Amino acid sequence: MIICEIAPFKRLFTMIPLMPDYILSAWNIFGNYTAILLMTAGLILVLSYYFYLLILTDKKSRYDYINKNEIKSLWFSFLLFAVGATLLLNTLFSPTTWLWFFVRLFLSSMMTIIISVVVQNMLKFYFPFFIEKRLKKLRYSPRISADGNIMKLLSEEEEDVYLDEGMQAEENVFSIDYDVWIDEKTGSTKIEKYNGKLRALKCENCNYQTLKLVKEEVIQKATLQNTGELTKLFCCTYCGHKQKKSHNIAKLNPKALSTD
Ligand SMILES: [Zn+2]
């Protein structure tokens, strides 16, 4: 009785055409090679990123390298690895029918797309917190001068003496920060330039490190007598929250002007 009920299903399954051996084995072999190639490329990319970081000793260079490359490297190596792994999964079943082949291909591709979206969002919105912490540590940990002495980071007020007019103007108007390190024993200095536009700040609405500078406007120019005013417009790339901040621009320095 039971056998009779199962029989129609059995017939249905045998009607689905089996994937011919020569196509399947060609797919399995070449798919396998390509998958291993892609996964290896992904691993090499991420390893070479960290290897290069390992041999970079200068803190400022490390800072710039991480800032510029870390998220990009992790994302592309993940993509290579994920596509490779998906392909590999689809080369492991033999024999198979056309139907199962496409069902498996479709489901695994969907799965990969979903995981990729999650990973992309983590890299975009959560990971910057982690990077920012490391960058801060790199930026503010003591530099060593050429003479081997520990250098001291000057405060915003102290550092102006060491920056030329152009640098000061840049610091006031454009989103560029200069850090001045001084070797107090020999008086030698080291000036490092940081781009404030690249750095994302913490959004006060969603708390993610995704607040980016979109516009700067000088409301009032600084003169010899009066300070000027600058507004910065920030926009959060995560929640779209907008934030405005006003800054004073220092009075022009008469000494610097007369030397022009
Ligand atoms: Zn936000």
Which residues make up the environment of ion ligand 1, defined by Cβ < 5 Å? 203, 205-206, 236, 238-239, 241
Q: Which DSSP symbol is given to 228?
A: E
CB 62 within 8 A of CB 56: yes
How confident is the model over 3-62, as pLDDT tens digits? 555 566 666 556 677 778 888 889 999 999 999 999 999 999 999 999 999 999 899 999
How many angstroms does the Cα of residue 200 sit away from the middle of ligand 1? Answer: 11
Mode of pairing for the β-strands spanning 152-153 and 242-249: unpaired
How many angstroms does the Cα of residue 244 sit away from the middle of ligand 1? Answer: 14
**CA-CA distance, 117 to 120, in Å (whole number)?**
5
How would DSSP label each residue in 144-174? B-TTSPBPEEPPHHHHGGGS-HHHHHHHHHS
**CA-CA distance, 99 to 17, in Å (whole number)?**
8
How many angstroms does the Cα of residue 203 sit away from the middle of ligand 1? Answer: 5
**CA-CA distance, 134 to 7, in Å (whole number)?**
65
pLDDT band of residue 75 (cuts 50, 70, 90) is: very high
How many angstroms does the Cα of residue 201 sit away from the middle of ligand 1? Answer: 10
Per-residue pLDDT, 259: 41
Question: What is the chain's alpha carbon radius of gyration, rounded to the nearest angstrom?
Answer: 29
Which residue reads 């990973």 in tokens?
119
